[in-house]
Structure 1
Amino acid sequence: MTQDARSLAFEILTTFDKNADATLDSVMDRITGKVELDRREMGLANALVYGVLRHRGQLDYTIDHFASKGIARIDKKILTILRIALFQLRFMDRIPESAAVNTAVEMAKVHASESSGGFVNALLRTCLRNPEEPSLEGLAPEKKLAVTTSMPQWLVEKWIARMGLEETAALCRASNDIAPITVRTNTLKTTREELSERLAPQVETLSPTPASPLGLSFTSPKTPIFEMDAFKEGLFQVQDEAAQLIALMVNPKPGSRVLDVCAGVGGKSGHLAQVMENQGELVSMDVEAYKLKSLAREMARLGITNITTHACDLTRESPDIIGGGFDAVLVDAPCSGLGVIRRNPDTKWKYFKRNATRHTKKQKAILSAAARCVRPGGTLVYAVCSMEPEENGAVVEAFLEKHTDFRMMKPFDAAPQGAEAFITPKGYVAPLPHKNGMDGFFAARMVREEK
């Protein structure tokens, strides 16, 4: 059983790299559930995992520079050990250099060979003797930006083509920042002011979100979020401010009939139920039944009772639960997740340029299927946590061209404070990390014409 932070980080990172379809969250949940580490060691393990993934591009560029035969010939396990150690040496000033190097050498001996330990020792000590290397002089601007911000070069090039070098640099830097923890007040049980008073003594900094009227952002909680009394009492859900805007766009009335098509574990379903004041009918649907089980537990914690769950793929079937249609339908579609890299740095290493077409095809199919569920006069909201045009505006425009009984409508009935900063000329809601301090998100609000 893993007994120290560095070994745990190594196990998580190697498992993540070996499983092409696995998310970091799923790997961490599976592995950390089997270990017993004190809070300090677990915190260090998390810092190492997220730090390596956040800075992997720059770490690999450095390792390739100092490895005489290049990074491509380094064993995968040894490469992971080097990344963990080099991250400590270059980005964690409180870790003694000797601890970072010596533990890496011992791990290499355990997971590879005695000679591998010697290789790791030599490379890391060369890095220590040459802290200013490697030089970035002579690199093309896109390559230099990719290295310094640890972004895949294809993604940097894609963003530069769309928004120019200067704005791309700002977006890359913002995507590398550690985002604050943001929660949404459960107004069925408390107010934002009361929740703020409960949380203030338990965190280092605390502030209300400027756009969402229900959000609070904080840093450095003294106890894990899920152990806070306010969490156990169901007073909040963890949700970025950008995601909190979506239910405000749907704006379902109390007593109405609402469908959340891709509900997942219930972040937006919980907010929709709040807006509905726990009245009416909210159907939370997902293709993954296990997610809906988690959703049901989450709704019980929040005190929400107007939700029913239904495991279904709308692109393949038309269940009886649709009935005469819904007053409002939300499609929070599966996507690249490139808008939430600052929270999920693993995304940039698992998502590839070739995946864009696959996501777009699925998004169009889900949106078209969901449109059948909207009653005449009803609202349809399409949302993705992506900033990429092929996943947002292009999907909506193709949908509207094909479904002439739908049209765009203004995004909010009552626009939140400062909304003009993230509403586009076409009426889309599109906050950006470097401009609005939120996750990158996109949403469009449409209405089905009355017959």
Structure 2
Amino acid sequence: MNPSARLAAAIEVLGVTEEQRRPVAEVLRDWGRTHRFAGSKDRAAIADLAYDAMRVRASSAWVMGDDSPRGVMLGALRRVRGLDAEAIAGLCQGQDHAPAALTAGERARLEADSLDGAPAHVLGDYPEWLAPSLDAAFGDEAGHEGAALSRRAPVDLRVNGLKGDRAKALRALAHLDPVETPHSPVGIRLARGANDRTPAMVAEPAYAKGLVEVQDEGSQIAALLGEAMPGQQVLDLCAGGGGKTLALAAQMGNKGQIYAADSDGRRLAPIYDRLARADVRNAQVRAPRGEADVLGDLAGRCDLVLVDAPCTGTGTWRRNPDAKWRLRPGALEQRIKAQDEVLDQAVRFLKPGGRLLFVTCSFLKEENEDRVAALLGRQPELLPIDAAVLATRAGLPALAEHASRHGPGLRLSPLRTGTDGFYIASLLRVAG
């Protein structure tokens, strides 16, 4: 397929995504099945175009004065790819499967490329209904924070201390031009440009042999702030695929015990192969079994309970740009209810002196500081750990400057820390 045909296909994918309110990944998969002539490079290029358009949907529509799939895509070529009006016109010839030629109005809009007068939700490329929540979280910086969340994310890797150190991993991945992450002492970053394809990590020996795992630096930081120590009893209550379980196990040096649990056993499915590849030997997977209390024996025994809570995932918009446009207010209400339930459940497993680490990949105050405040109101035996103390004890004192101004805990974001959006709070059980 030539570049113009790829562009036309991406516009088609956007149209189906909008009309059917489906994830872009699903629409792309179906498109590939019905267009067998498209090779792997074609499909990858079309996917990149579609995701770029989703990243800047609001600002592209504003620039073009047109929120149709075509208008958004043309605006994205200007705003993300940096193509000028002449280059975009060259892709839109109206023949050989190319999009229709630019109109005079489209060309003028592309040449002006103006966001004059645009409100924060357009500058930040997020849904207008979320504007009050972002204003509450970020104040005057909401538009800038949103814009940072609309850019491509780098590929971050965590070095598995059970298999080697960061120097070894850097040597093994030297052909990918890795650099050390700025905050995590066990992190490696592979930067990507606007037109770079994501490295196929599954084909890398360092990954296949368990030396590195794909994990955003923010998620690495969250695990480090748990301060898991060898010999402790640790519960990862919402373990999912096991990313933080693996990180905690490495911190513990395979000594003590870590329990990986999740209310949905299907989410735990990938963890078994990951534990084996990482050489983790101190983990038990506690999958749900009907009505059985599979964690009953851990009540009052745990030094650390990690709650990587269900949330809207707003902090991951760099990696899932279409998710922000599919998010609805009802989803936030559901997540808040689920968070309160799992936090109350977590307290059950803490021993006196044990710590609850509450983590979300969200920047919404409703899912973060508000949930901690509500929990403290229900559970008087819990006390919040000061953010500066938490960061310093974990060997990350520079993070103290990212203490939340809305309550206990730390806030990470692409704009401020170069990570996905995360909220991390630690609470100490002092009695009960």
The one of 91, 98, 105 aligned to 1:100: 91
Task: Tell whether the 8 Å contact from 1:256 to 1:280 is kept in structure 2 after alignment.
Answer: yes
Deviations 1:206-246 (A, max 9, x none): 32122211011122478422222211121111111111122
Amino acid at match of 2:400: E
Q: What is the CA–CA distance in structure 2 between the aligned matches of 1:196 and 1:338, rounded to whole Å?
A: 31
Cα separation, 1, equivalents of 2:289 and 2:362:
22
Q: Deviations over 1:77-116 (max 9, x none)?
A: xx43554455336643569535632479948xxxxxxxxx
Verify the 8 A CA contact 1:62 1:134 in the aligned structure 2.
yes
Match of 1:209 in 2: 181
1:190 to 164, 170, 178: 164
* Cα distance change, pair 371–26 in 1 and its aligned pair in 2 (3 A): farther
Give the Cα separation in 2 of the matches to 1:375 and 1:200. Answer: 45
> Which of 128, 132, 142 is equivalent to 2:111?
132
RMSD (CA atoms)? 3.4
Residue number in structure 2 paired with 1:419 = 399
CA distance in 1, matches of 2:361, 2:166: 25
Aligned pairs, how many? Answer: 416
Q: Does 1:150 align with 2:96?
A: no
Match of 1:168 among 142, 157, 172: 142
Q: CA deviation at 1:8?
A: 6.2
The CA distance in 1 between the partners of 2:101 and 2:93, in whole Å, is 11
Single out whichever of 285-294 and 216-225 deviates more from structure 2.
216-225
- Which segments of 5 or more consecutive residues in structure 1 lack a partner in the other structure? 72-78, 108-119
1:256 corresponds in structure 2 to: 232
Relative to structure 1, the CA distance from residue 396 to residue 158 in structure 2 (aligned partners, 3 Å threshold; closer, same or farther) is closer
1:296 aligns with 2:296: no
TM-score by length of 1: 0.80
Q: How far 1:32 sits from its partner (Å)?
A: 6.4
Q: Aligned pair in 2 of structure 1 residues 124, 415: CA closer, same or farther (>3 Å)?
A: farther
* Cα shift at 1:52: 0.8
- Deviation of 1:398 (Å): 0.9
C-alpha displacement at 1:160, in angstroms? 3.4
**1:87 is matched with which residue?**
76
Matched, 1:273 2:274: no
**What does 1:391-406 align with in structure 2 at a 5 Å threshold?**
391-406=367-382
Contact 2:13/2:50, CA 8 A, preserved across alignment: yes
Offset of residue 331 of structure 1:
0.5
Comparing 182-191 and 436-445, the one that deviates more:
436-445
> Identity of paired residues, percent?
26
**How does 1:41-56 map onto structure 2 within 5 Å?**
41-56=42-57
Aligned equivalents of 1:195, 1:365: Cα separation in 2:
40
Matched letter for residue 111 of structure 2: E
Partner Cα distance (1:32, 1:371) in 2: 47
Classify 1:185/1:101 alpha carbon distance in 2 versus 1 (closer, same or farther; 3 Å). Answer: same
Question: Aligned partners of 2:339, 2:191: CA distance in 1, in Å?
Answer: 34
In the alignment, what sits opposite 2:426? 445
Q: Secondary structure at the match of 2:321?
A: coil
Question: Shift of the alpha carbon at 1:428?
Answer: 0.8
Aligned partners of 1:82 and 1:104 also within 8 Å: no
For 1:399, what is the secondary structure of its paired residue?
Answer: helix
Whether the aligned pair in 1 keeps the contact of 2:14 and 2:50 (CA below 8 Å) is yes
> What secondary structure is seen at the aligned counterpart in 2 of 1:45?
helix
Which residue identity is paired with 2:223?
A
Q: Point out where structure 2 has 5 or more consecutive residues left out of the alignment.
A: none
